[in-house]
A and B are shown apart, each in its own frame.
Chain A
Amino acid sequence: MATIHIDGQPFAARADTNLLQACLSAGTDLPYFCWHPDLGSVGACRQCAVKQYSGPDDTRGRIVMACMTPVTDGAILSTRDAESLDFRSSVVEWLMTNHPHDCPVCEEGGECHLQDMTVMTGHHARRYRFRKRTHRNQDLGPFVKHEMNRCIACYRCVRFYRDYAGGEDLAAFASHNSVYFGRAESGTLESDFSGNLVEVCPTGVFTDKPFSSRYVRKWDMRGAPSVCVHCAVGCNTILNERDGSLRRVLNRYNGEVNRYFLCDRGRFGTGFVNAASRLRAPLLRASDGSLQATSMAAALALFGEALSTGPVIGIGSPRASLEANFALRTLVGAQNFHLGVSGIEHDLLTLTRDILRVSPARIATLHQAEQADAVLVLGEDVSKTAPRIGLALRQSVRQASFEAAAQARIPLWLDAAVRSLGTDARSPLFQATPAATDLDPIAVANLRLAPEDIARLGFAVAHCIDPASPQVVDLAEAMAGQARAIADALLAATRPLVVSGGQCGSAPVLQAAANIAAALHRTRPETRLMLTVAECNSMGLALLGGEPLDAAMEALEAGMVATVVVLENDLFRRVPQARLLHALARARHVVALDHLASATTQVAELVLPTATFAETDGTLVSHEGRAQRFFQVSFPVAPVQDAWRWLRDGAKAAHRHDLDWQHLDEVIADLCAAHPALTAMRGAAPDAGFRIAGSPIRSETHRFSGRTAIHANVSVRDAKPEANIDGPLSTTMEGYYGEMPAALRPYFWAPSWNSGQSLNKFQDEVGGPLRGGDPGIRLLDGDPVPWRYHDAIPGAFQPRVDALMVLPKGRLIGSEELSDRAPAAKPRIEPAALSVSPAMRQALGATTMLSLTGAVHAVAVVADPAIPEGVALFPAHAHPFPGFADPQWAETAAP
Chain B
Amino acid sequence: MLSNVRTLWLTFLHLFHRSETVGYPETKPYMAPRYRARIILSRDPDGAERCVSCNLCAAVCPVDCISLQKTEDQGRWYPEYFRINFSRCIFCGLCEEACPTYAIQLTPDYEMSEYERPNLVYEKEDLLISGTGKYPDYNFYRVAGMAVPGKDKGEAEREDPPVDIHGLLP
Contacts and interface: CB of A to CB of B under 8 A. Distances in A.
B67 A710 contact: yes
Interface stretch (A213-221, A338-346, A803-811): A213-221
B148 to A, nearest CB: 9
B56 A134 contact: no
B61 A135 contact: no
Contacts of B70: 214-216
Interface in A211-235: 212-217, 219-220
Contacts of A149: 145-146, 153
A155 to B, nearest CB: 16
B158 A132 contact: yes
B25 interface: no
A705 B159 contact: no
Contacts of B161: 134
A168 interface: no
Interface string A703-720: 111111110110110000
Interface string B71-89: 0100001000001110110
Interface in B124-138: none
Contacts of A708: 63-65, 85, 88
B145 A150 contact: yes
A219 B27 CA distance: 46
B91 interface: no
Contacts of B160: 131-134
Given A130-B158, A131-B158, A706-B66, A109 B54 contact: yes
Given A132-B159, A178-B163, A709-B85, A716 B118 contact: yes
Nearest to B101: A104
Nearest to A701: B59
B166 interface: yes
A101 B123 CA distance: 28
Interface in B99-152: 100-101, 117-118, 120-121, 123, 140, 143-147
Contacts of A214: 69-70
B85 A705 contact: no
Contacts of A136: 153, 162
B121 A135 contact: no
A672 interface: no
Nearest to A173: B165
A51 to B, nearest CB: 32
Nearest to B158: A131
B170 A104 contact: no
A290 B34 CA distance: 63
B72 A213 contact: yes
A219 B87 contact: no
Contacts of A104: 52, 54, 56, 77, 100-101, 140, 144
B88 A709 contact: yes
A175 interface: yes
A716 B88 CA distance: 9
Contacts of B84: 709
B167 interface: yes
Interface in A141-155: 147, 149-150
A217 B53 CA distance: 10
Contacts of A216: 55, 69-70
A707 B83 CA distance: 11
A525 interface: no
Which of A133, A176, A219: most chain B Cβ within 10 A?
A133
A703 B167 CA distance: 46
A243 B70 CA distance: 13
A149 B70 CA distance: 21
B59 A713 contact: no
Contact of B123 (A130, A213, A713): A713
B156 to A, nearest CB: 8
A823 B29 CA distance: 57
A103 B85 CA distance: 26
Given A216-B70, A712-B121, A102 B83 contact: no
Which of B68, B84, B140, B165: most chain A Cβ within 10 A?
B165
B154 interface: yes
Contacts of B88: 708-709
B58 interface: yes
Interface in A178-212: 178, 180, 182, 212
A221 to B, nearest CB: 11
A129 B158 CA distance: 8
Interface in A102-153: 102-105, 109-110, 129-137, 147, 149-150
Interface string A79-118: 0000000000000000000001111110001100000000
A820 to B, nearest CB: 26
Nearest to A149: B145
A716 B117 CA distance: 7
A241 to B, nearest CB: 14
A785 interface: no
Contacts of B158: 129-132
Which of A136, A214, A219: most chain B Cβ within 10 A?
A136
Which of A105, A150, A217, A710: most chain B Cβ within 10 A?
A105
A704 B83 CA distance: 16
A174 interface: yes
Which of B52, B84, B158: most chain A Cβ within 10 A?
B158
A716 B72 contact: no
B55 A173 contact: no
B141 to A, nearest CB: 8
B83 A710 contact: yes
A173 B162 CA distance: 14
A216 B84 CA distance: 17
Given A708-B88, A712-B85, 5 more contacts: A130-B158, A178-B165, A220-B58, A243-B69, A706-B58
17 contacts: A100-B144, A101-B143, A103-B54, A104-B77, A110-B59, A132-B159, A134-B160, A173-B165, A174-B166, A220-B59, A243-B69, A705-B61, A709-B64, A712-B83, A712-B118, A716-B85, A716-B117
Interface of B: 52-56, 58-59, 61, 63-70, 72, 77, 83-85, 87-88, 100-101, 117-118, 120-121, 123, 140, 143-147, 153-154, 158-163, 165-167, 170
Interface of A: 100-105, 109-110, 129-137, 147, 149-150, 173-178, 180, 182, 212-217, 219-220, 243, 703-710, 712-713, 715-716
